[in-house]
């Protein structure tokens, strides 16, 4: 019998240490143009869901096309890495709890997500499956403010599919950290995916996918055939 109990680690740019992943939190909706393309309430406060830590996928990986879907989609997102324990964090204090930033892809089985949404069920089958949390190397972050501007982009086979500026986030990075910390005790090792802009779309086996956040980092994956075993 084989067990894979190795925790997930992410390289930190320019450092020998790696970031040990504890939990992966994601924001449901955080760019107006994506809410409009999906159909939703534009004034709702942010809501959060989780992916399992072992769903993490790092740069250069081949992600097998997942089971149980016919609409496997990409969502490029800025990722915040928590380095300090915190609860009920004030927005103005949020940067102190973030030790690194990166860019990620919230891979989504859109057909399962929408079916769950329409039936009032949890999003889990659409969001929290194997290999669903792609993340770049993390850039250590010690600035007094979290990223507020900068291009974030995703391309498939060299064609740009998603492009936006972080300034278009409805809830800023600091507001997300603050709001999440009122629902959960944030701990070192937690990742927060901050939501995707418009342009989400389907992926197929053979696709080459690149996500990039200007001056932060990039991550490249390929999509493979469905796993046989």
Among 106, 137, 190, 212, binds Mn ion (CB under 5 A): 106
Residues touching Mn ion: how many (CB under 5 A)? 3
Which one of the spans 12-20, 70-78, 155-163, 197-205 is the region binding Mn ion (CB under 5 A)? Answer: 70-78
The answer to whether residue 196 forms part of the interface with Mn ion (CB under 5 A) is yes
CB–CB of 166/101 below 8 Å? no
Which one of the spans 5-13, 75-83, 93-101, 200-208 is the region binding Mn ion (CB under 5 A)? Answer: 75-83
Nearest one of 229, 219, 222, 227 to 62, comparing CA atoms: 222
Residue 34, helix vs strand vs coil: helix
Would you say 18 or 117 has its CB closer to Mn ion? 117
Residue 75 CB, shortest distance to Mn ion, in Å, is: 4
Residue 127, helix vs strand vs coil: helix
Would you say 79 or 100 has its CB closer to Mn ion? 79
Residue 90 CB, shortest distance to Mn ion, in Å, is: 25
Pairing of strands 208-213, 151-156: antiparallel
Would you say 12 or 210 has its CB closer to Mn ion? 210
The answer to whether residue 194 forms part of the interface with Mn ion (CB under 5 A) is no
Phi, psi of 166 (to 5 degrees): -60, -20
Would you say 105 or 174 has its CB closer to Mn ion? 105
**Distance between CA atoms of 120 and 123, rounded to whole angstroms?**
9
Residue 88 CB, shortest distance to Mn ion, in Å, is: 25
Beta strands in 28-142 (DSSP E): 48-51, 56-57, 62-64, 72-74, 76-82, 98-106, 108-109, 133-135, 139-140
Beta strands in 65-158 (DSSP E): 72-74, 76-82, 98-106, 108-109, 133-135, 139-140, 151-156
Residue 26 CB, shortest distance to Mn ion, in Å, is: 5
Would you say 12 or 80 has its CB closer to Mn ion? 80
The residues binding Mn ion (CB under 5 A) are 75, 106, 196
């Amino acid at each position: 019998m084989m067990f894979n109990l190795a925790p997930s680690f992410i390289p930190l740019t320019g450092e020998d240490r790696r970031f040990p992943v504890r939990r992966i939190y994601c924001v449901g909706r955080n760019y107006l143009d994506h809410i409009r393309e999906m159909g939703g309430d534009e004034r709702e406060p942010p809501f959060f869901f989780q992916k399992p830590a072992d769903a993490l996928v790092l740069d250069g990986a081949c992600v097998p096309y997942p089971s149980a879907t016919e609409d496997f989609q990409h969502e490029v997102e800025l990722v915040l890495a928590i380095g300090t324990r915190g609860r009920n964090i004030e927005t103005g204090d949020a940067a102190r709890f973030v030790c690194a930033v990166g860019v990620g892809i919230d891979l989504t089985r859109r057909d399962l997500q929408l079916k769950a949404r329409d039936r009032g069920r949890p999003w889990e089958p659409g969001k929290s499956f194997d290999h669903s949390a792609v993340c770049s190397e993390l850039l250590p972050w010690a600035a007094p403010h979290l990223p507020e501007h900068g291009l974030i982009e995703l391309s498939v086979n060299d064609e740009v599919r998603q492009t936006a500026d972080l300034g278009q986030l409805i809830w800023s990075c600091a507001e997300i950290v603050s709001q999440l910390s009122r629902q959960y005790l944030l701990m070192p090792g937690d990742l927060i995916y901050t939501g995707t802009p418009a342009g989400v779309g389907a992926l197929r086996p053979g696709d080459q996918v690149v996500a990039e956040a200007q001056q932060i980092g990039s991550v490249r994956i390929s999509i493979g055939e469905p796993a046989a075993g």
